[in-house]
């Protein structure tokens, strides 16, 4: 049982568990912190020393793992975020929301990122990709690590008796309790993966091909092109397909009011499987637009095909307020 392991190996196990979690492995670290806090509370004479030492170890473990992701973002830039987007069990639009959250609050978001599911794993490499200094990163990440670790330890210490009763009950069930917990975690991960695959399959029925779009542009009859990447993604990759306008899927009503239902629309992003673009195309289809398609492969496929790109010189401030803005 995890309780027995924490009691036997104590700080070393907590350090390894928190390090693995911060590196992105599917290992929940909070239960281990809570259990150690409860275990420490069972020894009132040394509870302060035990909690302080494990808090420090947990902070260091978090900083080591987070620093690895920070450096990945610093070295590989937006490619790190694309990889995370591809591996994430959450929908790609959730990753975009995280990017926008970071864009609004900056590196300060790291102080609370550990408490928000999905926010930490994206905001940390994004801090590196956006050029945040390592000193600034360490400052806010340390605050976040201390708050998160301390919360787990304090919860364990405050509810030590209840946790001890719970673990005693689980102990009477023997190994079966551990098997049930592992099985439930696997079922949850499988459910999330299946839902993601179903979404991809559902939205993958129609795409605009790169060559088809290139021919339309060359013929002088280009469709309306929407780049729906977040402002933060565009800062990391400041290039667009010629003729692009910026759009925000949160403000579909303004797009619907601006264009006739028979207008040909092509939407692109930089996320794997074009999920964000496909989702927006689906919403516009349901709103009455008959000819709207996501671009297969998005901006990366256009670039890889050797097609022309235009540099993005400055960010349009109108996008936030008006939903659609021309690329400049």
- Does residue 14 share a domain with residue 106? yes
In a domain, 180, yes or no: no
In a domain, 29, yes or no: yes
- Does residue 223 share a domain with residue 159? no
Give the residues of the chain that fall short of pLDDT 70: 1-9, 82, 84-98, 118, 166-178, 180-181, 188, 192-193, 195-205, 272-274, 314-328
pLDDT of residue 321: 40
The Cα 322–Cα 328 span in angstroms is 16
- Does residue 161 share a domain with residue 108? yes
CATH of the domain at 315: 3.40.250.10
Q: How far is CA 278 from CA 268, 297, 319, in A?
A: 9, 11, 20
- Does residue 19 share a domain with residue 155? yes
Contact yes or no for 90/100 (Cβ under 8 A): no
Number of structural domains found in the chain: 2
Contact yes or no for 310/217 (Cβ under 8 A): no
> Which of 146, 172, 198 is the last residue in one of the domains?
172
- Does residue 138 share a domain with residue 283? no
pLDDT of residue 265: 93
What's the 3-state SS for the chain?
Answer: CHHHHHHHHCHHHHHHHHHHHHCCCCCCCHHHHHHHHHHHHCCCCCHHHHHHHHHHHHHHHHHHHHHHHHHHHHHHCHHHHHHHHHHCCCCHHHHHHHHHHHHHHHHHHHHCHHHCCCHHHHHHHHHHHCCCCHHHHHHHHHHHHHHHHHHHHHHHHHCHHHHHHHHHHHHHCCHHHHHHHHHHHHHHHHHHHHHHHHHHHHHCCCCECHHHHHHHHHCCCCCEEEECCCHHHHHHCCEECCCEEEECHHHHHHHHHHCCCCCCEEEECCCHHHHHHHHHHHHHHHCCCCCEEEECCHHHHHHHCCCCCEECCCCCCHHHHHCEEECC
Domain range for 99 is: 2-172
- Nearest residue to 280 via CA among 291, 267, 261, 295: 267
- Does residue 161 share a domain with residue 15? yes
In a domain, 168, yes or no: yes
pTM (predicted TM-score): 0.64
In a domain, 183, yes or no: no
- Does residue 233 share a domain with residue 145? no
Contact yes or no for 247/323 (Cβ under 8 A): yes
- Nearest residue to 287 via CA among 321, 251, 245: 251
Neighbours of 271 (CB within 10 A): 25
The per-type count for the chain, helices as H runs and strands as E runs, is 16, 7
- Does residue 114 share a domain with residue 29? yes
In a domain, 272, yes or no: yes
> Which of 172, 187, 202 is the last residue in one of the domains?
172
Please give the DSSP secondary-structure letter assigned to residue 130. Answer: T
pLDDT of residue 319: 44
* pLDDT per residue as tens digits for the range 258-290: 999 999 999 998 875 667 788 888 888 888 898
The Cα 124–Cα 113 span in angstroms is 9
pLDDT of residue 89: 46
- Does residue 160 share a domain with residue 30? yes
In a domain, 123, yes or no: yes
In a domain, 106, yes or no: yes
In a domain, 97, yes or no: yes
- Does residue 129 share a domain with residue 28? yes
- Does residue 111 share a domain with residue 237? no
- Does residue 76 share a domain with residue 129? yes
Which residue's structure tokens are 């694309």?
A: 82
Contact yes or no for 225/297 (Cβ under 8 A): no
Contact yes or no for 229/245 (Cβ under 8 A): no
The Cα 117–Cα 32 span in angstroms is 18
Residues whose CB is less than 8 angstroms from the CB of residue 107 and which lie 6 or more positions away in sequence, other chains included: 127, 132, 136, 137, 140
């Amino acid at each position: 049982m995890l309780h027995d392991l924490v009691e036997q190996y104590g700080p070393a196990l907590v350090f390894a568990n928190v390090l693995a979690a911060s590196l992105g492995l599917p290992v929940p670290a909070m239960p281990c912190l809570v259990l150690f806090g409860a275990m420490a509370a069972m020894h009132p004479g040394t509870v302060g020393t035990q909690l302080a030492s494990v808090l420090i170890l947990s902070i260091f473990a978090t900083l080591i793992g987070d620093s690895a992701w920070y450096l990945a973002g610093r070295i590989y830039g937006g490619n790190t975020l694309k990889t995370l987007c591809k591996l994430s069990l959450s929908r790609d639009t959730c990753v975009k929301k995280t990017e926008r959250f970071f864009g609004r609050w900056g590196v300060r978001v790291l102080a609370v990122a550990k408490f928000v599911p999905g926010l930490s794993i994206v905001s940390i490499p994004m801090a590196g990709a956006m050029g945040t200094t390592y000193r600034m990163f360490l400052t806010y990440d340390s605050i976040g690590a201390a708050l998160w670790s301390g919360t787990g330890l304090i919860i364990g210490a405050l509810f030590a008796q209840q946790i001890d009763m719970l673990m005693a009950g689980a102990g009477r069930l023997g190994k079966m309790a551990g098997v049930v917990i592992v099985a439930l975690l696997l079922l949850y991960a499988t459910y999330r993966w299946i839902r993601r695959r179903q979404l991809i399959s559902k939205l993958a029925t129609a795409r605009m091909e790169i060559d088809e779009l290139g021919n339309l542009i060359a013929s002088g009859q280009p469709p309306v092109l929407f780049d729906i990447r977040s402002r933060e993604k565009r800062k990391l990759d400041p290039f667009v397909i010629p003729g692009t306008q910026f759009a925000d899927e949160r403000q579909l009503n303004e797009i619907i009011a601006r264009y006739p239902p028979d207008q040909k629309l092509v939407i692109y992003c930089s996320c794997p499987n074009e999920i964000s673009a496909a989702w927006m195309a689906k919403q516009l289809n349901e709103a009455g637009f008959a000819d709207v398609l996501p671009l297969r492969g998005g901006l990366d496929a256009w670039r890889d095909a050797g097609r022309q790109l235009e540099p993005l010189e400055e960010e349009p401030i109108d996008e936030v307020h008006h939903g659609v803005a021309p690329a400049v």
